[in-house]
Structure 1
């Protein structure tokens, strides 16, 4: 489709579906064809705001080249599979699906039909991630913290799929190795799913990552620290600041602009970096359009989406095991009714 305009429909008119609709409507390479949602009034409202009509799902497929699936996670597979079977390219919000089997089927379906399937891990398109990834090659240890005050939105799933999956995906993108083991703990405080969680991931190459996520914190904080053999990176996402301590190149030249020698630590320099936040959602849409229209590689493909889902499921399983141990020891009381803390049944 060289030099074409990509006709995109939105399946799901919730909080994030609305953002998708508005962003597509403002794009120069995309045209918003319509909005589908079981809540007809919600679909009409979002459609009116974005300048498109509310349509049924079947009609949306007929008038679109591609779909953005921004519906609840439990119907990602159903909607994405229907779209792919109809010959439509798909950008599906994270997580890619509810199960690994579903994720595999979506990936296989897209491959068989020669269609683009991109997963909406938005952080990959952020200026912060690009700043970090360009300065580290082989992380040895990563520590990520993502905490925020409680909001009812998103509590249909655990904090693993609501918040932690963002950092799981970033860690997996930075560490080129398979996960060897996961040790996690979490607690449901304000909802029926875990609202706070901590996971320690060990990779086959020896790298380790510790990730903390909470949606019941009194403040918002997003930080990441990365240790490598050649450098240390500390990122404060809220302040848009990156501190890099790296080994000085042994070429006899002076320090590059912006770097300062670290007092008392010979051979290392300190660099303080700030970044301008760009529109990550617009960048995600632009990448999707480029993959469909220009044949550009899919940055966050089905394999990446599956890997993040597998990590999230492993964290959820480790939490269940931890909870069983705590209950057996009397550390916690177990409610009589069973539930699925991972948010995936």
Structure 2
């Protein structure tokens, strides 16, 4: 019988509580520790899933892997503490609060040859998983990720929303972008100073591929749409509903033969989803595979930095970025 993976989870907030549920429900893992400095919140989540609450990360003797869903500013010290004890790590996005610190963390995981994952959850969306089995040679990607304003998230949409579709574009194009352009909009007075509410981004890829990515928190409803264009078909994904439709244009002409109106023939396919598994559960299962050595840890580590590089370039368009860079030097 294979031993169950003993997991320590850092963070009992909105995302942390979801991770706690998924870990506790796994038939391959046990939620051993729930770490959160807020005793009332931490104890409540720990008790719900029969884990032990701790106020801070302990020595990891007896723990096989760690999941971090804490505030972004805490990621760097937590990650380095976990990696220094040679434990595999799944950390929510972004990996750290700067590209420099993200590189340091990834370098440490590489040096130690440790399984390391970032919570780029849309990779495990059933519609995305299915689309990747259908793809030939994508040449143009458009995505829209719009949401109503959330008071609890005051930092910019680049790290909160845009990063998911940047990651998907890189994944689907199967290469890093060679050029990044972006325009940012600042509108909501409740946002942190310099935090963008809208990010319109254009990625250019070697060979001419283009991705147009729109992220906004000015919406009145959630939109999670992704369109993938190939030479002879269009693959449309609704990431919220987790469904996929494929279109193949056949012909077009006037509706009546005299130019009045329009008629088009299009083949529409609705493929069966390759999986129906909840993305967070699928992500954790992949993490367990990395820990067990049945998935390629090196490939996983290498996939993390490219979307972080793009987002860092996007937020360099913030009006305060040049001042911050100058102050850092």
Tell me, yes or no, whether TM beats 0.5: yes
The answer as to 2:164 corresponding to 1:166 is: yes
Structure 1 residues 70 and 99: alpha-carbon distance in aligned structure 2, compared to 1, 3 A threshold: same
CA contact (8 A) 1:34 1:60 kept: no
Deviates more, 1:311-320 or 1:271-280: 271-280
Q: Over residues 292-325 of structure 1, what are the superposed CA-to-partner deviations in whole Å (9 max), with x where a residue is unaligned? A: 124322497232221111111111123549x99x
- Gapped regions of structure 2 (runs ≥ 5): 254-263
Name the CA distance, whole Å, in 2 between partners of 1:151 and 1:272.
Answer: 33
Q: 1:211 aligns with which of 206, 210, 213?
A: 213
Deviates more, 1:228-237 or 1:191-200: 228-237
Q: 1:244 aligns with which of 243, 246, 259?
A: 246
Structure 1 residues 165 and 299: alpha-carbon distance in aligned structure 2, compared to 1, 3 A threshold: farther
Name the CA distance, whole Å, in 1 between partners of 2:91 and 2:79.
Answer: 7
TM-score when scaled to structure 1?
A: 0.82
Deviation of the 1:267 alpha carbon: 11
TM-score when scaled to structure 2?
A: 0.86
Deviates more, 1:24-33 or 1:295-304: 295-304
Q: What's 2:296 paired with?
A: 297
Structure 1 residues 267 and 214: alpha-carbon distance in aligned structure 2, compared to 1, 3 A threshold: closer
Q: Over residues 142-193 of structure 1, what are the superposed CA-to-partner deviations in whole Å (9 max), with x where a residue is unaligned? A: 10001111112222x2101001111111111111233222221122222121
Name the CA distance, whole Å, in 2 between partners of 1:22 and 1:10.
Answer: 11
The answer as to 2:48 corresponding to 1:46 is: no
Deviation of the 1:4 alpha carbon: 1.9
Q: 1:188 aligns with which of 182, 186, 189?
A: 186
CA contact (8 A) 1:119 1:300 kept: no
CA contact (8 A) 1:118 1:302 kept: yes
Number of residues paired by the alignment?
A: 310
Q: What's 1:258 paired with?
A: none
CA contact (8 A) 1:183 1:318 kept: no
Where does 1:281-292 land on structure 2 (aligned, <5 Å)? 281-292=280-291
Structure 1 residues 146 and 264: alpha-carbon distance in aligned structure 2, compared to 1, 3 A threshold: same
Deviates more, 1:188-197 or 1:83-92: 188-197
Aligned alpha-carbon RMSD (Å): 2.7
Name the CA distance, whole Å, in 2 between partners of 1:125 and 1:181.
Answer: 26
> Secondary structure in 2 aligned to 1:170?
helix
> Secondary structure in 2 aligned to 1:225?
strand
Deviation of the 1:226 alpha carbon: 1.3
CA contact (8 A) 2:10 2:57 kept: no
Q: Which has the higher contact order (CA 8 A, sep 6+)?
A: 1
Structure 1 residues 319 and 176: alpha-carbon distance in aligned structure 2, compared to 1, 3 A threshold: farther
> Secondary structure in 2 aligned to 1:139?
coil
Deviation of the 1:264 alpha carbon: 4.2
> Secondary structure in 2 aligned to 1:198?
strand
Q: What's 2:257 paired with?
A: none
> Secondary structure in 1 aligned to 2:60?
helix
Deviation of the 1:207 alpha carbon: 0.9
Structure 1 residues 54 and 240: alpha-carbon distance in aligned structure 2, compared to 1, 3 A threshold: closer
Deviates more, 1:139-148 or 1:263-272: 263-272
Name the CA distance, whole Å, in 2 between partners of 1:112 and 1:47.
Answer: 33
Name the CA distance, whole Å, in 2 between partners of 1:240 and 1:115.
Answer: 32
> Secondary structure in 1 aligned to 2:96?
coil
Q: What's 1:272 paired with?
A: 270
